[in-house]
Structures are given as structure tokens and as C-alpha cells.
Structure 1
Amino acid sequence: MTASSNAALPSGGPPLRVLLAEDNSLVREGYAAMLSDQPGIELVAAVEDGFAALRELDLHRVDVALVDVEMPRMDGIEAARAIATRHPGVVVVMLTAFEDKARLAEALGAGAQGFLTKDMDIEQIIAAVRDAVAGKTVLGPEPLEVAAQSLRQRAAEREANAEFLDRAEALSPRYAEVLNLVARGLTNRQVAARTGHTEATVRTYLSEILQTLNCSSRTELAVKANRLGLVAGDSA
């Protein structure tokens, strides 16, 4: 995870083919003009929303999609997911006013390779785009600080719950599986179906897990496990 560089680096290869998606026409025209003036950049299209971006991607080869987060019809998060599915070779970088900090995690989770802000210089944006194409995750200064703060908060919370974490990590594989499924919101019946245990066995396991982890309810257990990053996704 890197902050943007201070200047755009020259490219010795073919120009980067860039698509811009921005709903504000004045902003879109301004960025389109600046991008077109940058050496090593070829602006393929400048469109107003995610639907239009996907249409252009279906028609043209594009290396990088610079996408605003807040757009009508299909916003940048939805567009990033759709691009990752339909055009996995296209690097998606968000370029936004960053008014809603929760959108940072959403964007990265949707497959965006970077999250830049509109207060950055065009040279910084181009340098970050080149880094994203090279495989780096790129963040503007403000998103980088938000990400760092989130990591600091997570580290502090894990430190404050060190005993809970130690006990959770010491659970047997069977108990750990039940913990994970309960924390993901499954009922005892659903956990039993997933694991092959009886409901009575699941109830017994859950009772012992609650006692071991000093939790008064499955709700407390689920909240803590999710907050501390103990819950694994479904690989099935």
C-alpha cells in the first residue's frame, strides 16, 4: 500500500489507455483535458457513469479505468465489481472527492487497485496510476491516513482483547469451525447441517465455546469475533 509519488514517471512502452468515468460534466471535461495532455497517456473515453464505462470497455481496449465513487445509475463501487468480472485485465483506480470514508474499504473490497482524491495534482495521479498498473495498491494522502488509522484501531483492539484471542486461537478445529459459523450468523440447525454434527452437539460445543471465551451470549461472541477479524469467509 503506497502513497502517490510526487511526479509522473515517463513510460518507455506504449501509452497507457485510460477510461475516465465522472458524472459531473465540468469535472469530467477538466480531467479529460489534463489526461490528454499527459505524455504516455491515451484517453480512450470520458463517460458519465458505470454503465457507460462498461459499454466503452466492451468496445475498446483499456488499461486503466479512473472511476468516481458517487455516480448515478451505477456508482463506482458497482462499476468496480462489474469491471472485475467482465474485464479482469483492466486496473480500476477510484478518483473521488472522498466525502464518505467508509467507501474506501468498499472500493478496495470491490477490486479497485487504488483510491485517489481530486485534490491531488494530475502528475501525482498519473504516477499513482502507473504504480497501480505495476501491481501496487495506491492511496492518496487522506485515504492512506484513514487506512493507517483503521489499522492502528484494529491493533489496539486486538491488544485489549489479547486473552480472548489467545483462547480463540487455542480452540480445537471442531470448536473453531462452530465458532466461525456462529459468528457468521448461522443458526444451530444450519451449523449442524454444515458440519455434520447433531443440533444437540452444536449446542454443547457452543456452550463450551462461550464458557471458554467468557462470552455471555452468541451475539456477544459473534460481535467480538467479527470485530477482531476472526471470521473466515465461505470457501464452499
Structure 2
Amino acid sequence: MTQNNSGTIRVLFVDDDEIYRENTVKALNANPRLEVVAKATSGEEALEIADNTDFDVMLLDVTMPGLDGIETLQRLNAVHPNCVVLMLTAFERPESLQQALSSGARGFLTKESTVGEIREACEKALRGEQVLGTEPLKRITDFYVKGTPEVDEEFMAKYHELSPRHQKVVVGLAKGLTNREIARLIGVTEASATTYIKEALSQMGTRRVQLAYKAAKSGLL
């Protein structure tokens, strides 16, 4: 895949719902920061296009007939491990969300997301950040909080080794707080909070989104 120097985010859009796909592609192309360079109606077609098309971010529907989004993601990562993929979700089970994250998805967006939210999510993903909308995060945390916690012993051991301030950061991240909200939570500037967040994630050995479901699963919330 060739490097993109245009300043425009090249998108490969994958969804089997024709009305949603065409309307969303039209809206994305109307944004000067986004360009849909290709679109696919199935996982199989997406994999074929990915082999022959330069793109920056794939927006991939979780639920599709035939090869679903998760299996498509797994096959894609086997061939193109550095691809940036954001999953599009409607009403998926929390287990599916967790499985996609474990398979290498950079995050999730609901299908109700605005063009601005999609653009911002793509920018974050390309910076190496994890992206998880409020509703997918709520589904994951509710699933584990309401159920019987299955404690991740390694995760909790690392958590207990953190300083009290870093522990607060981890809980804030698990609740889906923004950097600014975490700054207020621990009483520092946003710039300092960003440093604390990076340190906490590094010490926990996990990404921002994965931390959310590990914390919920372990009963930390």
C-alpha cells in the first residue's frame, strides 16, 4: 500500500446494506478530509479490493451474510497486518465486539455516527489511538458488570502495581472518559493527563479499548 501524502483520508467502505452504504459513501465524499476510494458489499469482495487498492482506513460492517466482518478482519490481518480497520456496528452482541477487538480492530462506530464523528474516528485510528463509541462501550461494560466477573488475574495484578493516580486513570479509561475528563478526575492539565494515560496503558500492557472490556470483565467497574 502506497503512502498517502494528499492530506485526505482514503476510505474503503464495506457494508451489504445498499441504502446505508450508498447514502453514507455520498456523505463521506462530501467531506473534504475524506475520500471513499472503493466500496464493497461483502467480506470476500473487501479482501479482493484490499489486495489491489491503496486506502488508509477500512470501515467494515460487523454483520454481513457469508464472510462476516470479524472473519473478514481476521483474514485481512493475516495478509495485511498493518491495516487500520474500524468496525461499523448496529446491535451486535458484546461478545462479538470483544472478539473483533481481539482480532485487531482499531475500534467501533455505530451506524448512527455522523460524518464528523467518522472523520474524527479515522484521524484517531491513523494516529494509533483506539476508538470506541459510547454505545459499544456501554454494551461491553454492561455485559460484564451485570454478569459474573471472570477476573483477568494478570490484568488485575498489573492494576494493583499502579500508583493511586494511575489507577484512577485506568478506571476513567474503562468508563470511556475523554482525556479532558480524566484530567479533571485526577486534578491535572489535559497535557499531563495525556502523559498519565500513556504511562498507564504502557504499564497495563494494553490498548485503550481493550482495557475497557478487561476492566469490566474483571469486575473493576
Does 2:63 align with 1:53? no
State the distance in 2 between where 1:144 and 1:62 align: 27
Q: Superposition RMSD on alpha carbons, in Å?
A: 2.8
Count matched residues: 153
Is contact 2:87–2:105 with CA below 8 Å preserved after alignment? yes
Is contact 2:10–2:56 with CA below 8 Å preserved after alignment? yes
Q: TM-score, normalised by structure 2?
A: 0.62
Is contact 2:94–2:140 with CA below 8 Å preserved after alignment? no
Name the residue aligned to 2:23: 30
Q: What amino acid does structure 2 have at the position aligned with 1:77?
A: I
1:85 partner SS: helix
Name the residue aligned to 1:79: 72
Displacement of 1:150 in angstroms is 5.1
Does 2:37 align with 1:44? yes
Name the residue aligned to 1:111: 104
State the distance in 1 between where 2:136 and 2:41 align: 24
Moved over 3 A (4+): 147-158
Does 2:58 align with 1:65? yes
Is contact 1:154–1:228 with CA below 8 Å preserved after alignment? no
Which protein is bigger by CA-based radius of gyration?
A: 1
State the distance in 2 between where 1:129 and 1:73 align: 26
2:105 partner SS: coil
Is contact 1:18–1:66 with CA below 8 Å preserved after alignment? yes
Identical aligned pairs, as a percentage? 38
Unaligned runs of 5+ in 2: 158-216
Deviation string 1:57-89 (CA, Å, 9 cap, x unpaired) is 111111111000111221100111111111122
State the distance in 1 between where 2:100 and 2:70 align: 5
Name the residue aligned to 1:145: 138
Displacement of 1:155 in angstroms is 9.8
State the distance in 2 between where 1:111 and 1:68 align: 14
State the distance in 1 between where 2:150 and 2:51 align: 45
Displacement of 1:149 in angstroms is 3.5
1:39 partner SS: coil
Does 2:90 align with 1:97? yes
State the distance in 1 between where 2:62 and 2:93 align: 10
Does 2:12 align with 1:19? yes
Is contact 1:22–1:68 with CA below 8 Å preserved after alignment? yes
Question: 1:123 aligned to 110, 116, 120, which one?
Answer: 116
2:120 partner SS: helix
Displacement of 1:102 in angstroms is 2.2
Is contact 1:21–1:48 with CA below 8 Å preserved after alignment? yes
Unaligned runs of 5+ in 1: 1-11, 167-226, 230-236
State the distance in 1 between where 2:147 and 2:127 align: 29
1:195-206, aligned counterparts within 5 Å?
none
State the distance in 2 between where 1:54 and 1:146 align: 28
